[in-house]
Amino acid sequence: MLAPDQSSFHATKTIGMAKHSYRCKISSSLTDAILFVGGVMVALLLFCALWSSIMPVPNPTPTFSSAVTRPKPSVSEVFASDDCAQVVVSMRVNRSHDPSSPTFYDDPNLSYYVDKDKPIKNWDKKRREWLKHHPYFSPGIQERILLVSGSQPSPCQNPIGDHLLLRFFKNKVDYCRIHGYDIFYNNVLLHPEMKTFWAKIPVLRAAMIAHPEAEWIWWMDSDAAFTDMDFKLPLERYREHNMVVHGWEKLIYEKKSWVSLNAGVFLIRNCQWSMDFMDVWASMGPQTPDYDKWGKTQKSVLKDKVYAESDDQSGLVYLLLEQKEKWADKIYVESQYYFEGYWLEIVERLENISDRYVGIETSAGELRRRHAEKVNGYYAQLREPYLKEAGFGWGSWRRPFVTHFTGCQPCNGNHNRIYSGESCWKGMEKALNFADNQVLRTFGFVHGDMLDSSSVSPLPFDYPSSA
């Protein structure tokens, strides 16, 4: 029998031990739980670290020269930007899945065509909703581009017109294949009265609706060609903008020139701002009762405008001038590189540019290495340091990004009279072969003569070292 003091102590101790035991059981369970969750967290952390080393994430501090390279995000950036599980779900681009949850497609009031009585509203929210139901299109969306081009439905009047259009189209398809962009070529009039250069606006609108997964629509005239197959658009540069055109701000705001920018090549974001802008832009077109009035209005503001009729390019300059506060802050006027280059100042320099690039490769062995077309981007990165002194745009010896044969009119043949048709067609042939050489390189061939479209020669191993 325990002594009374031991008994009470024991009792206290027992109660204490019971309490302690109870608390221990709780704290032990807590510890177990912590350990278990800790294991889960470490696994997640490991996965996300693996993930962050493979998923493409936009460069947070972009510069123009990083147009080609993208640094890897840190683990914390991935955690902050996206839930890992959400990212995993988003990964599969599933063409065979369309959930029944209603989207803007189920709205009877949605109009694919430009209709001033049926403007699109809340397009940003509608796109976001669609993307929420199709999460596999989210990864990489900021860089997803649909390139759109087109020409008239009927055969060209110029006997070699369609042949040239075919070559220009192939050129665009080559660029898109190399960079993984979708391309849509339109050859119908979506609005019977919106012809020639006005025809593009209904096409852009329809394309935005048909391709909600595309962040940017890139319009390129049928007579514009890619002449640098490596160059990628520096999209980070335009992250605060919804439209990009090639031009010069001085010429817009001081000279008020109708050629202060070019409306034949532009980027336009798939968003509500663009829908609103296109409605206003289109309101100056031939399908409206104010068409004639707009021609006069544009001419009164843009003194050097040549044609009497309202045109889309003058319309764009007009909107920048007369509705500046409404639109200008979202329209990037790009003048630092040939986002769209005037052919007349380019084609005579192409042989020289070609020689400079061959010169680089003669001394840089790593650039001579044969490779699959799919990894062109790697060799583009390797080449960049050698182009440091090349410059961009006018006067540079860098390959011009886009060469645009404005004024040549390959389809109807009614070229601007300040140059001959011959100079147009020869110029086109040279530019197209200059570009084609960059493509054929990975197929093992080259046009020896930029003015000879038919003949190519096989490239020897280690070209141009052994040339």
Instruction: State the minimum distance, in angstroms, from the CB of residue 329 to a second copy.
Output: 30
Cα maximum dimension of the chain: 124
Cβ atoms < 10 Å from Cβ of 371: 11
Q: Which residue has the tokens 């029998």?
A: 1
* 288 vs 453 by CB, closer to a second copy: 453
Cβ atoms < 10 Å from Cβ of 186: 19
Q: Give pairs for 304-309: CB < 8 Å, separation 24+.
A: 304/257, 304/258, 304/259, 305/258, 306/258
Q: Which residue has the tokens 């690039």?
A: 357
* 48 vs 261 by CB, closer to a second copy: 48
Instruction: State the minimum distance, in angstroms, from the CB of residue 420 to a second copy.
Output: 19
d(CA 438, CA 193): 39
Q: Which residue has the tokens 């081009």?
A: 149
Burial group, residue 413, by CB count within 10 angstroms (0-12, 13-18, 19+): middle
* 393 vs 421 by CB, closer to a second copy: 421
Closest CA to 281 of 392, 174, 205, 378: 205
Instruction: State the minimum distance, in angstroms, from the CB of residue 279 to a second copy.
Output: 16
* 50 vs 306 by CB, closer to a second copy: 50
* 184 vs 419 by CB, closer to a second copy: 184
* 136 vs 394 by CB, closer to a second copy: 136
Instruction: State the minimum distance, in angstroms, from the CB of residue 285 to a second copy.
Output: 17
* 26 vs 89 by CB, closer to a second copy: 89
DSSP labels, 213-241? T-SEEEEE-TTEEES-SS----GGGGTT-
| CA-to-CA separations, 128 to 125, 211, 270, in angstroms, rounded | 5, 13, 11
* 161 vs 295 by CB, closer to a second copy: 161
- CA quadruple 54, 60, 61, 64: dihedral, nearest 10: 70
d(CA 155, CA 7): 111
Closest CA to 424 of 436, 412, 406: 406
- Which residues 6+ apart lie within 8 Å of 1 measured at CB? none
Instruction: State the minimum distance, in angstroms, from the CB of residue 218 to a second copy.
Output: 14
Instruction: State the minimum distance, in angstroms, from the CB of residue 61 to a second copy.
Output: 18
Identity at 81, one-letter amino acid code: S
- Which residues 6+ apart lie within 8 Å of 162 measured at CB? 155, 156, 411
Instruction: State the minimum distance, in angstroms, from the CB of residue 204 to a second copy.
Output: 11
* 307 vs 461 by CB, closer to a second copy: 461
Instruction: State the minimum distance, in angstroms, from the CB of residue 91 to a second copy.
Output: 6
Instruction: State the minimum distance, in angstroms, from the CB of residue 339 to a second copy.
Output: 22
| CA-to-CA separations, 345 to 24, 389, 405, in angstroms, rounded | 84, 20, 11
* 358 vs 375 by CB, closer to a second copy: 375
Instruction: State the minimum distance, in angstroms, from the CB of residue 163 to a second copy.
Output: 4
